[in-house]
């Protein structure tokens, strides 16, 4: 039987048990070789496109990773996780999400024949809520912020399996497949620019890259956070600052005040010799409009990455080599 291992004490737990973290408080370790995990569960997934463009005089590649059945990269993690849970005989799960993870988990739960309960903030966009409900999943709207939703789902997880995109290592192992696709298409990558909230994208990619590439060939990770919520930027740079923005948070998908895996995220960025870039709401809005005018219809959280790329690349005249910008969610989810 597959085992989850605690990062702190090394204790192991069955992957189909009710524990979503160790009794000591430690999180479960993301597999060192995630690409070895497979599943037969499917919804017609395809290899997502890589689109070459120019940005501030630099050649860049957009990874259109919203070309998935539910419209976001999180299908990668949900597919593997729910496939393994189906094989383990799990018949009901709970999950918390502001939208994309919930939609992905709901879709693959439906495909697996698993009853699904999604906990989300009541301010979640109606388009995402409608998508989740269409699968037959039960919606639990929680008043307050993402942390309130997290508390509610953990209470429910006392009696049901918590299929979490934050805690469950299988989710990260599924996301790692994006690394395989990138290396197949580009061979050599110098930088990957991506939005970061809970870190499933960044950590999944990083573990996948380390399985495939030698240490000297690993790309730099450029993580993008957005005002008004940017704890990873603050901890990485050892700075504290007040946000200039308090309302109308466009990048709701990465507005995580207390990322559970923040130390793992920062360690990965440092190991890659990367950086954390901060963007504001105006920069996200401008980036969103620019991509829409190019026919690239993404949601606002996705636009944080190209907005961060602009801040990262401006005033730099030298070539950065192959730069990949991950676009994470479809604009069809936005209203």
pLDDT digits (tens, 9 = 90+) for 203-247: 999 999 999 999 999 999 999 999 999 999 999 999 988 776 655
Quick check: 318 pLDDT over 70?
Answer: no
First to last CA, the chain: 43
Q: What are phi and psi of 24, to 5 degrees?
A: -80, -5
At residue 187's C-alpha, the angle toward residues 182 and 192, to 5°, is 50
The answer, as to whether pTM is greater than 0.85, is yes
pLDDT score of 335 more than 60: yes
pLDDT digits (tens, 9 = 90+) for 262-297: 999 999 999 999 999 999 999 999 999 999 999 999
Mean pLDDT of the chain: 93
- CATH code reported for the domain at 74-168: 3.40.50.1100
CATH number of this structure's domain 50-73+171-333, picked from the four choices 3.30.465.10, 1.10.150.20, 3.40.190.290, 3.40.50.1100:
3.40.50.1100
**Which residues contact residue 130 at a Cβ distance below 8 angstroms, ignoring those fewer than 6 apart?**
none
Question: Which segments of the chain belong to CATH 3.40.50.1100?
Answer: 50-73+171-333, 74-168
pLDDT-based confidence at 321, cuts 50/70/90? confident
């Amino acid at each position: 039987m597959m085992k989850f291992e605690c990062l702190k004490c090394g204790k192991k737990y069955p992957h189909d048990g009710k524990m979503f973290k160790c009794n000591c408080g430690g999180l479960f370790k993301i597999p060192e070789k995630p690409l070895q995990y497979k599943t037969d569960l499917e919804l017609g997934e395809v290899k997502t496109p890589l689109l070459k463009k120019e940005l501030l005089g630099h050649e860049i590649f957009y990874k259109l990773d919203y070309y998935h059945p539910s419209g976001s990269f999180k299908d990668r993690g949900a597919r593997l996780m729910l496939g393994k849970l189906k094989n383990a005989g799990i018949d009901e799960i709970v999950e918390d999400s502001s939208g994309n993870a919930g939609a992905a988990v709901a879709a693959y739960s439906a495909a697996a024949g698993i009853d699904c309960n999604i906990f989300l903030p009541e301010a979640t966009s109606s388009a995402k809520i409608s998508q989740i409900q269409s699968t037959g999943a039960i919606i639990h709207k929680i008043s307050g912020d993402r942390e309130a939703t997290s508390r509610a789902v953990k209470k429910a997880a006392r009696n049901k399996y918590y299929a979490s995109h934050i805690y469950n290592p299988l989710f990260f192992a599924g996301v790692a497949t994006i690394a395989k696709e990138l290396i197949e298409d580009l061979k050599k990558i110098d930088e990957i620019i991506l939005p970061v909230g809970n870190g499933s994208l960044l950590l999944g990619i990083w573990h996948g890259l380390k399985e495939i590439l030698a240490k000297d060939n690993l790309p730099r990770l450029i993580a993008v956070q957005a005002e008004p919520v940017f704890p990873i930027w603050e901890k990485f740079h050892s700075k504290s600052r007040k946000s200039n923005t308090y309302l109308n948070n466009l990048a709701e998908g990465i507005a995580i005040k207390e990322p559970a895996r923040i130390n793992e995220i920062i360690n990965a960025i440092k190991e890659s010799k990367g950086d954390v870039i901060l963007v504001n709401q105006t920069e996200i809005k401008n980036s969103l409009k620019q991509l829409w005018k190019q026919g690239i219809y993404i949601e606002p959280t996705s636009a944080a990455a190209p907005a961060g790329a602009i801040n990262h690349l401006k005033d730099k005249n030298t070539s950065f080599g192959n730069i990949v910008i991950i676009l994470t969610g479809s604009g069809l989810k936005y209203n």
